[in-house]
Amino acid sequence: MEDLAKHIEPANESAQKLASILYQLSGAMSTGRQLPSMPEPARPYELWRTLQKYDPQILDARHVPELGYSTYAVVEVLSGVIACKTNELVRSIEQLVGVTTFDVDDVEEVSE
Q: Is residue 91 part of a domain?
A: yes
Q: Is residue 109 part of a domain?
A: no
Region 22-49: mean pLDDT is 84
The total number of structural domains that make up the chain? 1
Q: Write down the pLDDT at residue 16.
A: 84
Q: Is residue 107 part of a domain?
A: no
pLDDT at 109 over 80: no
pTM for the model: 0.70
Q: Is residue 6 part of a domain?
A: yes
- Across the chain, mean pLDDT equals 80
Q: Is residue 110 part of a domain?
A: no
Segments forming the whole domain that contains residue 37: 2-99
pLDDT at 112 over 90: no
Q: Is residue 104 part of a domain?
A: no
Closest CA to 17 of 37, 50, 46, 40: 40
Q: Is residue 88 part of a domain?
A: yes
Measure the CA–CA gap between 1 and 99, rounded to whole angstroms.
Answer: 43
Q: Is residue 83 part of a domain?
A: yes
